[in-house]
Amino acid sequence: MQGKIALEEHVAIDATLADSKVFGAHVWDTLGPRLVDVQDMRLREMDKHGIEMMILSLNAPAVQAIHDVKTAIAVSKEANDALAGEVRKRPDRFAAFAALPMQDPQVAAEELTRCVKDFGFVGALVNGFSNVGTPDNVTYYDLPQYRPFWKTVETLDVPFYLHPRNPMPGNPQLKDHNWLLGPNWAFSAETSVHALRLIGSGLFDECPNLKIVLGHLGEGIPVQLWRIDGRNGWMHAPHQYPAKHGVGHYFRKHFHLTTSGNFHTPSLVNATTEMGADRVMFSVDWPFEDVGEGCAWFDTAEISDTDRAKIGRENAIKLFKLKLK
């Protein structure tokens, strides 16, 4: 398929490049250059495999792992200035998500506003929870101090991409099982719980027009939706949380999914069955996944041509208000 739009595609700046080495130290000679390149190899891969546009975002965990608040703010602004510079070079091929210093919700709201209004960014991508003040202080965004931030996101009418990061070191479930870290399992486990916390907190009752994006075909949530809300239904024990409705109600109304790093047709079919084809979008997860592999899978996946056009291009144009010819 020609004209695809990919939207979980990462870039590193000098201050964040080393964060990604743990995810590919044995191929760093290839991975590192892929992360810092935008206008050369990346464009060639896009042209070769039918991708018209990439929405760029900072690598992980980057800003979210910087516990010193002033430094987190400075790095986020540096990254956003760099991303804006790359987009200006080729606005026909690139757009960008803002990196945000969620350690300070007010500054995060101000930085998102700057990026949207001054640079034309199409949303934000944040790498999970933030460390605030100290390396072991873990902060999630369902907490009350983030409500004004979420209202800003809603007012700006841009999506918020909740991207994974690993759980904090010392998790007893992962002790002596480092192979579970990263995309193998821990990314999805960590991110799915964060997303469910947002739902249960009542956030979407307060912000009824908020839009959230999850990668990797929903971080495992779609296949669990019935069980999350069913929970031994004969016991008649509904969820005890501030939200007014079931998880499925909010997930299908407020969340959009991408195929990033999950090139598996049965999982794609499950996601579109649960969410509808209008809420799923194509992505690769470059440079951690391969553009050629992701595109070859998607272009030949056993789905209808109508759904392929929606997922590959049309849904992203609508959600991010992209102005493409």
For residue 128, what is the domain's CATH number? Answer: 3.20.20.140
| pLDDT score at 53 | 98
Check: CB of residue 35 under 8 Å from CB of residue 20: yes
Tally of structural domains, the chain: 1
Give the count of alpha carbons within 13 A of 247, CB side only: 24
> Within a domain: residue 325?
no
Predicted confidence at residue 239, as pLDDT, reads: 92
* Token pair recorded at residue 307: 């759904």
Asked if 86 and 56 touch (Cβ cutoff 8 Å), the reply is yes
Return the amino acid letter for 2.
Q
Instruction: Give me the tens of pLDDT residue by residue for the chain, a chain 325 residues long.
Output: 999 999 999 999 999 999 999 999 999 999 999 999 999 999 999 999 999 999 999 999 999 999 999 999 999 999 999 999 999 999 999 999 999 999 999 999 999 999 999 999 999 999 999 999 999 999 999 999 999 999 999 999 999 999 999 999 888 888 899 999 999 999 999 999 999 999 999 999 999 999 999 999 999 999 999 999 998 888 998 999 999 999 999 999 999 999 999 999 999 999 999 999 999 999 999 999 999 999 999 999 999 999 999 999 999 999 999 998 7
Q: Output the pTM of the full model.
A: 0.97
Catalytic positions, written as ranges: 285
Using CA atoms, how far apart are residues 150 and 295, in angstroms rounded to an integer?
A: 34
Omega prior to 61 cis, within 30 of 0 = yes
Predicted local confidence at residue 169, as pLDDT: 87
The CA dihedral of 74, 80, 81, 84, to the nearest 10 degrees, is 180
Q: How distant is the alpha carbon of residue 209 from its chain centre?
A: 18
Residue 310 falls inside a structural domain: yes
CB-CB contact of 286 with 42 (8 Å): yes
Longest CA span, the chain: 59
113 inside domain: yes
Name the E strands within the chain.
4-11, 51-58, 94-96, 124-127, 130-131, 138-139, 160-163, 212-214, 255-258, 280-281
Contact by Cβ (8 Å): 92, 291: no
Domain holding 292, by residue range, is 4-320
Asked if the structure places residue 38 within a domain, the reply is: yes
Contact 64, 165 (CB under 8 A): yes
Q: Is residue 31 part of a domain?
A: yes
For residue 212, being part of any structural domain is answered with: yes
Give the whole-angstrom CA distance, residue 253 versus residue 245: 11
The verdict on residue 130 lying in a domain is: yes
- Residue 136 forms part of a structural domain: yes
- Alpha helix (H) ranges present in 37-123? 41-49, 69-89, 105-119
